[in-house]
Amino acid sequence: MSINLSKFGFIKRDTPRDINLDPLQTGGVLTPEARHALQEWGDEYSVCDYCGGALDEIKTPPIYDFVHKALPEFLGCDHVRITNGAREAKFAVMHSICKEGDWVVMDGNAHYSSLVAAQRARLNVKLVEKTPAPEYKITLEKYAQAIEEVKRETGRPPALALLTYPDGNYGNLADVKAISRLVHDNGIPFLVNGAYAIGRMPFNAKELGADFVAGSGHKSMSASGPIGVLGVSEEYAPIVLEKSKTHKTKEIELLGCTARGATIMTMIASFPAVYERARPENWQKEVENARWLSAQLENLGLRQMGDKPHNHDLMFFEAMPLYEISQKTDRYFLYREMKARSIHGIKPGLTKNFKISTFGVGREKLGIVADAFKEIIKKYNAC
C-alpha cells in the first residue's frame, strides 16, 4: 500500500491574514454565529433529522422560513432555492431554460464560471464587448449590438441574457435596469449574476428587472460553502424548479437536494449580520472606504481601472510603480512584503495588475494597507 497517510489528517492554515483583501474571501469570512454553527451542524445531513423529503420544507431548523420567507424578501424574488453555489444556480437556469445549441448573450466581464456553465449546457455564447481600458464598461449600446448579432446570425433572439452585477474583475456596476428593459423588449429572459452583490449591497431582483438571480453564500453571505442562492420569478419557476415525475418532492435541477448541513446553517447563522451590512447606509460606508483607498493608491502612482468614482469594494489596479520595482528585484517582492505585514489577498507574483476588495476591512486597517504600499514603494525606490 503506497499511500502516505501522514500527509493528511488535520492541517494548519498558515496564511497570515490579519488584514484580508482577497476579493474571493472578504465577503465570505464567517461571523461568530456562523463559526458556532459550524461546530453545531458540521456533521452532514444534520438538518435532515426532521426532513419530510424536501430541504426547503424543513421546519426544524427553520429552513422553510429562511428559504420561503426571508430570502425572497431579501432578494426581491418570488421563489428562492439553495444551491451549491452561484455557478450551480446559473447552470440550473441555463440547463432548464435553454435547449442545446441555443444562444446566450453575456457581458464581456462575465465570470469564467458563466462561460463554463454555458459550455456544460452546450449553448453558444455571444459576449457583449466591453469598452477599452481603463473603464471596461458594459454599455447598453454594446449589449443591444450583441443581441442584434445573434438575431441576424440565427434568425431569432438569444434564449437567455446574463449580466454580471458587479463583475469580478473591475467591480463595475452596469446600468442593469436599462439592460433588463432592452433584454425584455427583445423577449429574452434575464439572469443577473449577483455573486459579488447579494449579501454585500442592496439588491432587489424585481427592481433590477431580473427573471433569475444567482448569489454566492461563500463569496458574499459569510457562509461556509459551497453554497449559493437561486432566485426565480413566478413566471419561470415551473420550468427551473420542475419536480421529478417519479419522486414528487424532488426538484430536478437541484438533483433533489443541496445544502444539508453546515453550509445552510452557517448561512442562516450569518443572515442577521448579512442583512444588516447590506442596508443602503452601511453599504454606502463600504463604497466610501473603497474610494478612499483608491485615492490613496492613485496618489502613489497606481491607477484604478473600471468605474470611477467607484461604486463597489472590488477594485482592479494597474500598478506601474510596483511593476518597475519587480523588474529590478523579482516578481514576488510585493507578495513577500505584504505577507510580512500580514496583509493577504494579492496573488503571489502579481505586481503590474491586481485586484483587491475592501469589503468589511474598515478604515483603520485600510490605513495600514495604504501605509504599507507607501513604505514598500519608498523602500525599493531608495535602493
> Which listed residue (81, 126, 260, 312) binds a copy of itself by CB under 8 A?
260
Taking the least distance from each CB to a copy of itself, the nearer of 95 and 310 is: 95
Q: Is 109 annotated to bind ligand?
A: no
Min. distance of Cβ 40 from a copy of itself in angstroms?
Answer: 5
Binding mask 56-75 toward a copy of itself (x if CB under 8 A, else -) reads -----xx--xx--xx--xx-
Positions 285 through 304 that interact with a copy of itself (CB under 8 A): none
Min. distance of Cβ 307 from a copy of itself in angstroms?
Answer: 24
Omega within 30 of 0 (cis) for the link into 61: yes
Identity (one letter) of the amino acid at 17?
Answer: R
CA distances from 208 to 101, 137, 205, 217, 373 (A): 28, 18, 5, 20, 38
Residue 250 as a binder of a copy of itself (CB under 8 A): the answer is: yes
Min. distance of Cβ 379 from a copy of itself in angstroms?
Answer: 25
Residue 383 as a binder of a copy of itself (CB under 8 A): the answer is: no
Positions 110 through 169 that interact with a copy of itself (CB under 8 A): 112-113, 115-117, 119-120
User: Quick one: how far is CA 239 from the chain centroid?
Assistant: 24
Q: Is 294 annotated to bind ligand?
A: no
Own/partner long-range contacts of 5-14 (Cβ < 8 Å, ≥24 apart): none
Positions 74 through 113 that interact with a copy of itself (CB under 8 A): 74, 84-85, 87-88, 91, 95, 100, 112-113
Taking the least distance from each CB to a copy of itself, the nearer of 186 and 353 is: 353
| Rounded CA separation 54/60 (Å) | 12
CA distances from 332 to 171, 329, 346 (A): 25, 8, 11
Taking the least distance from each CB to a copy of itself, the nearer of 46 and 154 is: 46
Residue 237 as a binder of a copy of itself (CB under 8 A): the answer is: no
Antiparallel, parallel or unpaired: β 303-304 and 103-107: unpaired
CA distances from 265 to 67, 110, 119, 269, 273 (A): 12, 29, 32, 6, 14
Q: Which range binds a copy of itself by CB under 8 A, 159-167, 265-273, 314-322, 326-334? A: 265-273
Binding mask 216-235 toward a copy of itself (x if CB under 8 A, else -) reads -xxx---xxxx---------
Do residues 111 and 195 lie in contact, with contact meaning Cβ atoms separated by under 8 Å?
yes
- Reading the block at residue 59, the C-alpha cell is 421546519
